[in-house]
Amino acid sequence: MGRYRYNKLEKELNKVLKYQQDELAEIDMQLTEMRASCDAQISESETLLKSLGYKPEPPVPGTDSRPLPKIPAAASDAWEDMVHQAQERYPYDIALEDLLSQSEFENAYQDLEHINREFRRCTALDGVDLSMTVTAAALQTLRWVLMPEIGTTIDKATRITADEGEELVKKLKEEFVEKHKDWPTEKKQQGRRLREQEGKTWKEIIFSGVPYDVIKGSKKVLKVGLGGNTHRYRTLGHDPILGWIFGTADILTDTLTLNNLVSYRVEKGSLTNKRVLIPQLFAETSDQIQSDKYKLPAAVFRQAVHYKSDMYTKDGLPVPLLGAFNETLAGTLYSGQYDFLCFVRDSKIEGTSAILSILINMIISLLHGLYYDENRDGNRDLFEVRTRKILLYSNVLASTGNAAAAWITKNRKMLDVGGLLITISRLYTDARFIARAKQEFIQGRLDHHLRQIISDADEILYAF
């Protein structure tokens, strides 16, 4: 097939070019034969005239006033028709090697290299550009040097105790019930069994403990039991994000859902071995919500209250989502006292770092744009390539320096994650912009070269 890979349009284009090349070769061969035949007939005619005593006189230049015959314009077929004709003749794929000779390939590569050198020359950084690159890299480095370190664990002295958390929960529950005292609290069904099937009322949901806090019976059911230091990162009800879904569902259905998406029924404050599949869990949740419109807001409030009490205690809540993907890492961080509040704090730090990095890039881009001179710098897009290079180089230098400093000092807390993400995004966006600008530059030069060839051919054609 050749050294290159082609998409569908390129394959069609190759076939059409091959078709036209062969057609032109056939026409050239026919013209050569016609020219040879005409030359032979002219020679015979001259010989006959000489034998009859006629002496042909050479034409005087400029005396032939006959107008040149007009060359009829070739009828252009639709592209689909041309592709169809080419595919009928060539049912196989056509490669560039079938169209160009070795010397033509070499000439094409030489032309491309010449255009590439011209593009590099037009987009090379000058003295001002290099100065701005150094300035931008210095500002980006100063940014991450002055940013606080991440990964600092919680200070238990700043957290509330478990008793204080219980007092807070009790106060919030009473305020909620008092605010909604007009909501009905009686069960609709009659009979003990029907009342049990109906589930808890909204008020019972408020004053009951959450089922995903249950530890009793877990060792018997799970073999590796849930403890005070493990149940928060192993149950989805404690996940700061997933808990809004699974924690609320567990509250409504009296179940406990682990981070492996396996749910167990909770009965009389103890974990049972009755498994509940996730589809069944959501179906039961839907039934509970439809049975009483007050249950869902009560369950969501109960989930929020539990978050509020656990979040600010000494143990805290685990890092969100991590337990569902990597329980070992979630447990390591949690046992190392790195919890949800630490994660929120570090996210704010890295978010601020990323925003500052973007602002520095914007300022440098605006300042560099002030130096643009159309007469000196030419095309605006080529000048923009230089701007993108300044931003790309400065961000890479700053991020590389940060990574090197973190590696040398063995201090992962100083790693500038926010700036690193901005650098990665610039590697993608700026590289794409430069590649697109280069492609347009090459295409423009090729179009100019083609127009020059056509112009020269027109001059030769109409010179006579």
Res 314 pLDDT > 70: yes
pLDDT at 364 over 80: yes
Please list the residues that pair with 427 across neighbouring strands.
none
What is the pLDDT, as a whole number, of residue 56? Answer: 64
Residue 68 pLDDT class (50, 70, 90 cuts)? very low
- Mean pLDDT, rounded, of the chain: 82
For position 59, what pLDDT does the model report? 60
Cβ atoms of residues 302 and 170 within 8 Å: no
- The structure tokens listed for 40 are 């032979």
More confident residue, 99 or 454: 99
Per-residue pLDDT at 153 exceeds 50: yes
pLDDT score at 58: 65
Average pLDDT on 149-178 reads 80
pLDDT at 188: 62
d(CA 273, CA 254): 13
Give residues with Cβ within 8 angstroms of 445, minimum separation 6: 115, 118
Phi, psi of 264 (to 5 degrees): -130, 145
* pLDDT exceeds cutoff 90 at 40: no
Kindly state the average pLDDT of the residues 431-453: 77
What is the rounded CA–CA span in Å between residue 275 and residue 258?
11
Mean pLDDT of 208-218: 89
pLDDT at 64: 52
* Residue matched to tokens 């994650």: 417
Q: What is the pLDDT of residue 137?
A: 92
Looking at residue 73, what is its pLDDT? 47
Give the lowest-confidence range in 17-31, 180-194, 210-224, 424-438.
Answer: 180-194
Which pLDDT band holds residue 223 (cuts at 50, 70, 90)? confident
pLDDT at 406 over 70: yes
- What one-character-per-residue DSSP string does 203-255 give? HHHHHSPPGGG--TTHHHHHSS---TTTHHHHBGGGSTTTHHHHHHHHHHHTE
pLDDT class of 236 with cuts at 50, 70, 90: very high
- Whole-structure pTM over 0.85, yes or no? no
Higher pLDDT, 41 or 56: 41
